[in-house]
Amino acid sequence: MSITHLLYLHGFRSSPQSTKASKLATWVQQHRPDITWWCPQLPPSPREAIELVLQRVLAWPAANMAVIGSSLGGFYAGVVANRVGCRAVLLNPAVDPARDLATHIGQTKAWQSDESFFFRPEFIDELRSLAPSAPQGAAPCLAIIAKGDEVLDWREMRAHCASCRVELLEGGDHALSDFDAHLSDIVAFLGLE
């Protein structure tokens, strides 16, 4: 099946202006303008984020859609793939964001703007209620995991993504600063050529 709808989910404190989201949006615009592209600004509440995304994508054709997510967005992408049954690409996906973000409760700023938001204690329970997040269905999944990720443990990510095709990168970083080198693999995996 060919992809007609593509969703990108950014990570914690990130936005649709992130480097990876911007590069993917540009690629889609230049090479596949026929695809419906959506990269929403996700609210801080995990429950609200998933509700926002599902309200829109449940109207999309599951067999012709794919979701790409980075870090916390990778966790969310697993949730979406499980609920919808679509293909997924997980970029250094968060495995246990309830655990990892418990130390981030309070006022914080987004990376790509001066906007601040409050990460509330109840958001930790909302994250727990969404697990498990690794795609469990029959739809294909690709996980790109950097051993050099300075935020998340690559061994934990690899174990979590056991049902996915895993590209384990030597070195690298959490942001996948060498994202351009992986774009062709993502495009090929999703059959977007």
**Mean pLDDT for back-to-back runs of 10 residues, the chain (193 residues):** 93 86 96 97 91 96 96 94 94 90 71 66 84 71 96 94 93 94 95 88
Q: Give the bridge partners for 142, in sequence order.
A: 89, 165
What is residue 97's predicted lDDT score, i.e. its pLDDT? 85
**What are the structural domain ranges in the chain?**
5-190
Query: What pLDDT is stored for residue 117 in this prediction?
Result: 63
DSSP the chain: ----EEEEE--TT--TTSHHHHHHHHHHHHH-TTSEEE-PPPPSSHHHHHHHHHHHHTTS-GGGEEEEEETHHHHHHHHHHHHH--EEEEES--S-HHHHTGGG-EEEE-SSSS-EEEE-THHHHHHHHH---S--SSS-EEEEEETT-SSS-HHHHHHHTTTSEEEEESS--TT-TTTHHHHHHHHHHHT--
What pTM value is reported for the model?
0.92
Q: How far apart are alpha carbons 21 and 27 in whole angstroms?
A: 10
Taking a C-beta distance cutoff of 8 angstroms, is the pair 148, 173 a contact?
A: yes
Q: What is the pLDDT of residue 133?
A: 62
Q: Residue 137: what pLDDT? A: 67
d(CA 104, CA 12): 10
Q: Determine the pLDDT at residue 115.
A: 73
Architecture of domain 5-190: 3-Layer(aba) Sandwich (3.40)
Written as six digits, the tokens of 186 are 């993502």
Number of Cβ within a 10 Å radius of residue 57: 20
- Note the pLDDT of residue 138: 66
